[in-house]
Chains A and B, each alone.
Chain A
Amino acid sequence: MSLPHRLIQILTLRCEAASGLTSQRLDERLPLPERLALRGHLLTCGACRRLDRQLRILRDANRLRVAGDPAAPDDDLSPEARARIAHAIGAASPEAGNNSNGSNSIE
C-alpha cells in the first residue's frame, strides 16, 4: 500500500479498524502511525474507549482463571489421569525396562 494511501487510511480511522488496533495493542507494540491514529480516535470516541477497557477486563478475568483456580478443579489433570499417563510414558520408553520404573510417582 502506498504511503499517502496508508496515511489517509490512518487519519480517517473508523471504529471497526480502531477495534482491530485495540485488540492488536494487547498483543504487540503498534507501529507509530497506528499508535497515534488509535490514540486520536480513542480521545474522541467513547464507544471505542469502552471497548478498550472491556477487552482488558476480559484479559484480566482469563489470566486469573488459570492461576490455580481452586473453584475450577476441572482445569487440571486429575491425579488418576496423571498417574496413568506417567505409567504409559514409563512403559513406552525403550530403556524403561530397568529400575527407573520403580518410582514413577509425580506429584
Chain B
Amino acid sequence: MTADHASEIDPPQTATSPTDAAEWLAAHGDALYRFARLRLGTRELAEDFVQDTFLAALGSRDRFQGRSSTRTWLLAILRRKIVDHYRRSRSVREATEPDPTARRFFRIDGHWLAAPSPWKTPPEILADEEFRAVIDDCLGRLPPSLAEAFVLREREGLEVEAVREVLALSAGGLRVRLHRARLLLRDCLETHWFDDRPPASPRPT
C-alpha cells in the first residue's frame, strides 16, 4: 500500500509534523471517508469524523510503531471513534446482535433451505451502474458489523489481518462475519437483481 513511497523511511520517532498528516490525507482520505460514510450515513458527519481521525492521529503519531500499514492504523482510529459515537448515542451493543443468517439459508441438518439460483452474468454486468446500485443498496441493509467487515475486505481490499486489526476481531470472529455478510449479500442480490430482471425478449406491451 505504501510500498511505492521508497523515500519514506521514517526515523523511529519523527516529531509530529503537519506534513505527515497532509500526506495521510492525500493517500488515505478517500478510504477513510468511504468507511465513515458507510457507518455514519451522512456526508457531513463522515467528513467530520475523517477530520477528527487525522487530528487524533497527529496527536498519537509517536505511538504508531509502524507494525501495521498507515492506512490500517488510521482506519482503526476512525473505527474507534465511530464505536464511541454510537456508544454515547445508543445503548445497543453490537456484540449482542443475533445471527441474521440463522436458519435462513440452511436447514438444521446443514442442507440448503433454498439453493442459490443460477445467475445470468455477462462480463459487462460488473460495470453496470444499476447492478452496482443494487449492491450498494444491499450493503446498506446489512447489519453494520457485517457491512464494515465486508467492505474493508472486499471493497477496500485489505488483508484479513488488517481487517481484524481495524475491527478488533479474532480470526474466528472475522471469518463468521464475512461468511454471514456474503450469504446475505448474495441472497439480496438474487432477490433484487437476478429475480427482477426482465425476460431476455422484451415483454409485449
Q: Which residues of A contact B (CB under 8 A)?
A: 14-17, 19-20, 23-24, 26-28, 46-47, 50-51, 53-55, 57-66, 69, 71-72, 74-78, 81-82, 84-86, 88-90, 92-96, 100-101, 104, 106-107
Contact between B132 and A72, CB atoms less than 8 A apart: yes
Q: What residues of A have a CB within 8 angstroms of the CB of B51 in the complex?
A: 84-85, 88-89
* Smallest CB-CB A-B distances: 10 pairs: A14-B110, A47-B115, A93-B18, A16-B106, A23-B179, A16-B110, A89-B21, A62-B154, A81-B47, A76-B30
Q: Which residue of B lies closest to A68 (CB)?
A: B30
B129 at the interface (CB under 8 A from A): yes
Q: Which of A24, A26, A89 contacts B18 (CB 8 A)?
A: A89
Summarize A's interface: helix, strand, loop or mixed: helix
Q: Are A47 and B18 in contact (CB under 8 A)?
A: no
Total count of chain B residues near the partner, CB < 8 A: 57
B58:A92 contact, CB within 8 angstroms: yes
CA distance A57 to B185 in the complex (A): 11
Give the residue of A28, A54, A84 whose beta carbon is less than 8 angstroms from that of B47. Answer: A84
What are 9 sample pairs from A and B whose C-beta atoms fall under 8 A apart? A15-B112, A19-B179, A26-B182, A47-B115, A50-B117, A85-B51, A85-B54, A86-B25, A89-B25
Let me know if B170 is at the binding interface, CB within 8 A: no
Q: Are B175 and A93 in contact (CB under 8 A)?
A: no
- Which applies to chain B's interface (DSSP): helix, strand, loop or mixed? helix
* CB proximity of A16 to chain B, nearest CB, Å: 4
Contact residues in A for B87 (Cβ distance below 8 Å) = none
Q: At the interface, yes or no: B22 with Cβ under 8 Å from chain A?
A: yes
Find chain B residues with CB under 8 A from A20 CB. 175, 179
- Kindly state whether residue B26 has any CB partner on chain A within 8 Å: yes
B169 close to chain A: CB less than 8 A = no
Shortest CB-to-CB span from A35 to chain B, Å, is 15
Q: Are B18 and A90 in contact (CB under 8 A)?
A: yes
